[in-house]
Amino acid sequence: MMEKIHATTVLGVVHNGLVSLGADGQATMGNTVAKSNVRKIRSLSEGKILVGFAGSTADAFTLLERFEEKLNAYGGNMKRAAIELAKDWRTDRYLKKLEAMMITASAEEILVISGTGDVLEPENGIAAIGSGGNFAQSAAVALKRHAQDLSAEDIVREGLTVAADLCIYTNHNFVIQTVKQ
């Protein structure tokens, strides 16, 4: 079972030749909004790979650094880097304690990486994590199915908007980035 990361929404969509990844900007401490404009999307490999994270900020940045090291070690192969990170994350005594999840996206694919050792490639080209993830994913599935004229970025924006309207840990300050296929 996938671990539930609380207090954010990250959504990635592959649609019409584009891959977009977006997240809200809210950071909470318990039931208090600590900051409303956090950037949870990062660009790696000269903009060829995007990473979005949910969970503890310090843990997410530790994983982001490790993922970047794996990308460099495996010549920018995102899937291989993700698998190697997941192996380390599951077996390393320090990494095992980290509480975060990541979505990685390149022009070719989108992956969800978790601390349980999972590296999942969603079959419908839609990946979501965080407390508002199910809301965002549901909206994105419907939009992708019925609104072919929308871009991947449009679908991410609308999915995040639905999540922000329903999830108290998600706000409307979105950061969305796109990689062309």
Could you read off the pLDDT of 120-153 as tens digits, one per residue? Answer: 999 899 999 999 999 999 999 999 999 889 999 9
3 located within any domain: no
**CB under 8 Å to 82, separation ≥6 — which residues?**
67, 70, 104, 111, 113, 119
Domains identified in the chain, total number: 1
27 located within any domain: yes
**CB under 8 Å to 131, separation ≥6 — which residues?**
4, 5, 6, 7, 8, 9, 54, 167, 169, 170
Q: Which residue has the tokens 């199910």?
A: 134
Per-residue confidence band for 3, with pLDDT thresholds at 50, 70 and 90: very low
Share of the chain above pLDDT 70, in %: 95
Give the active site residues: 8
Q: Are 104 and 49 in contact (CB under 8 A)?
A: yes
38 located within any domain: yes
61 located within any domain: yes
135 located within any domain: yes
Domain that includes residue 117, residue range: 10-180
5 located within any domain: no
Handedness of CA 51, 102, 24, 16 (dihedral sign): positive
Q: What is the C-alpha to C-alpha distance for residues 56 and 28, in angstroms, rounded to an integer?
A: 10
In the structure encoding, which two tokens stand for residue 126, read together?
Answer: 């839609």
What's the pLDDT score for residue 121? Answer: 94
154 located within any domain: yes
Could you read off the pLDDT of 74-92 as tens digits, one per residue? Answer: 999 999 999 999 888 888 7
Distance between start and end Cα atoms, the chain = 31
Could you read off the pLDDT of 45-76 as tens digits, one per residue? Answer: 999 999 999 887 778 888 889 999 999 999 99
The CATH number that applies at residue 105 is 3.60.20.10
4 located within any domain: no
3-state secondary structure the chain: CCCCCCCCCEEEEEECCEEEEEECCCEEECCEEEECCCCCEEEECCCCEEEEEEECHHHHHHHHHHHHHHHHHCCCCHHHHHHHHHHHHHHCCCHHHCCEEEEEECCCCEEEEECCCCEECCCCCEEEECCCHHHHHHHHHHHHHHCCCCCHHHHHHHHHHHHHHHCCCCCCCCEEEEEEC
